[in-house]
């Protein structure tokens, strides 16, 4: 057991470092090819923060651990809102821009509703089981394209002055790209194998392990980015990081995963999808309590407490 726990930790380290190197190499290559900095940030950097979830999900799906894959997406989104945004508010009150409140958050609500609807075949179609199919994956990826188009449009007219992207020579760029991909692949394999073993050893479902341990581990890049942004009082970056990551997880990560392999949407997954929807709605409504469009310290403490309650609930459910 100790060996598998150490392998799991090593997997998280490789995964996070691999994502970091991949982003550096891909961003450098894009800039060498003349791509504008804000476009690099929109695509390469945003993909990099979701790369851990994507790699773990793809490897889980291809190895047949579908519960781990679905638990990772739903658990990561819960961790992003309750834990990461909660910690950010505790460090420094978060102020949300009007566009985030009335555009990005409603889009996140739509994404949460979409997961529940796509995973409710028994209710809507009278099927014998709930499955997120390949067609559903194509729908999610279509929304991802729309999200990219919207973000690109919102970024028009912005200057590149604030985008600090390092450009390396060809050899170093290639090393970062190859090393990053290798770290992601090896780290993801370590995580999936050890997580499945731990689930079996403790007689809990893969979904529970995915929604708790794996979800928090794959959300570490978002946690680090958000804490740094909160300390520097760049609260718009902190919120944008959480909302953007959740949209990436649903539309891109989950969409790509189910295109590779359809996922069974069992009762635990349906519960977590409803919890994600409820928490997203609570986040939206909380912005109109007290100071409008402010997410204050007491709300952050409440959200972190709710996340701890969810962990306890998941353990006992498992």
Residues 6+ apart with CB under 8 A from 163: 37, 38, 40, 41
For the ranges 1-15, 52-66, 70-84, 122-136, the one whose mean pLDDT is highest: 70-84
Q: What sign does the dihedral 261-256-77-104 (CA atoms) show? A: negative
- CATH number, domain with residue 40: 1.20.1420.30
Bridge partners of 131? 264
Bridge partners of 263? 132
What's the predicted TM-score (pTM) here? 0.85
Structural domain containing residue 218: 2-317
Q: Is the pLDDT of residue 69 over 80?
A: yes
d(CA 30, CA 27): 5
Average pLDDT of every residue of the chain: 85
Q: Is the pLDDT of residue 39 over 60?
A: no
Which pLDDT band holds residue 35 (cuts at 50, 70, 90)? low
User: Do residues 16 and 216 lie in contact, with contact meaning Cβ atoms separated by under 8 Å?
Assistant: no
| The two structure tokens encoding residue 264 | 């069974």
d(CA 13, CA 177): 17
Distances (CA, A) of 293 to 186, 211, 239, 288, 305: 42, 29, 12, 6, 21
For the ranges 12-16, 232-236, 275-279, 293-297, the one whose mean pLDDT is highest: 275-279
DSSP state of 264: E
Residue with tokens 């353990």: 315
Q: Is the pLDDT of residue 297 over 70?
A: yes
If one counts every other C-beta atom within 10 angstroms of the C-beta of residue 98, the result is 9
Q: Which of 77-81, 181-185, 278-282 has the lowest mean pLDDT?
A: 181-185
Give residue 21's pLDDT: 87
d(CA 246, CA 78): 9
Q: Is the pLDDT of residue 87 over 90?
A: yes
d(CA 314, CA 318): 6
From the list 156, 179, 177, 147, the residue with the least C-alpha distance to 255 is: 147
Question: What is residue 156's three-state secondary structure?
Answer: coil
- Between 123 and 274, whose confidence is greater? 274
Which pLDDT band holds residue 202 (cuts at 50, 70, 90)? confident
Give the number of domains in the chain: 1
Calculate the CA 3 to chain-centre distance: 27
Give residue 155's pLDDT: 59
Give residue 168's pLDDT: 87
- Start-to-end C-alpha separation, the chain: 19
d(CA 167, CA 297): 39
Radius of gyration of the chain (CA): 19
User: Do residues 29 and 43 lie in contact, with contact meaning Cβ atoms separated by under 8 Å?
Assistant: no
Which pLDDT band holds residue 4 (cuts at 50, 70, 90)? confident
pLDDT tens readout for residues 181-194:
899 889 999 999 99
Give CA torsion, residues 156, 158, 159, 160, to 10 deg: -70
Q: Is the pLDDT of residue 179 over 60?
A: yes
What angle separates helix 220-231 from helix 46-62, to the nearest 10 degrees? 160
Percent of the chain with pLDDT over 90: 42
pLDDT tens readout for residues 98-140:
767 778 889 999 999 999 999 999 988 888 889 999 999 999 9
pLDDT tens readout for residues 133-172:
999 999 999 999 998 887 767 655 555 444 566 788 889 9
The mean pLDDT value for 252-279 works out to 94
From the list 129, 85, 47, 55, the residue with the least C-alpha distance to 284 is: 85
């Amino acid at each position: 057991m100790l060996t598998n726990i150490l392998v799991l930790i090593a997997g998280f380290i490789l995964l996070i470092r691999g994502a970091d190197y991949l982003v550096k190499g891909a961003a450098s290559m894009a800039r060498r090819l003349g791509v504008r900095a804000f476009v690099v940030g929109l695509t390469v950097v945003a993909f990099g923060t979701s790369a851990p979830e994507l790699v773990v999900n793809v490897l889980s799906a291809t190895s047949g651990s579908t519960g781990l894959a679905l638990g990772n997406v739903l658990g990561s989104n819960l961790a992003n809102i309750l834990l990461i945004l909660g910690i950010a508010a505790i460090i420094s009150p978060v102020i949300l821009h009007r566009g985030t409140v009335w555009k990005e958050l409603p889009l996140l609500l739509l994404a949460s509703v979409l997961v529940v609807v796509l995973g409710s075949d028994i209710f809507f179609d009278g099927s014998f089981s709930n499955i997120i199919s390949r067609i559903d994956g194509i729908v999610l990826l279509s929304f991802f394209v729309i999200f990219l188009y919207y973000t690109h449009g919102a970024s028009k007219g912005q200057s590149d002055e604030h985008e600090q992207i390092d450009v390396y020579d060809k050899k170093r760029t290639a090393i970062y790209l190859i090393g990053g991909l290798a770290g992601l692949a090896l780290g993801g394999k370590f995580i999936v194998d050890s997580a499945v073993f731990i689930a079996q050893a403790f007689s809990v479902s893969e979904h529970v392990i995915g929604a708790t341990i794996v979800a928090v581990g794959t959300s570490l890049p978002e946690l680090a980015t958000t804490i740094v942004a909160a300390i520097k009082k760049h609260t718009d970056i902190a919120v944008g990081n959480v909302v953007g990551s959740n949209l990436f997880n649903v539309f891109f990560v989950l969409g790509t995963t189910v295109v590779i392999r359809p996922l069974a949407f069992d009762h635990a997954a349906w519960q977590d999808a409803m919890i994600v929807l409820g928490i997203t709605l609570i986040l939206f409504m909380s912005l109109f309590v007290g100071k409008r469009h402010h997410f204050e310290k007491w709300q952050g403490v409440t959200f972190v407490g709710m996340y701890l309650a969810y962990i306890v609930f998941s353990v006992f459910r498992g």
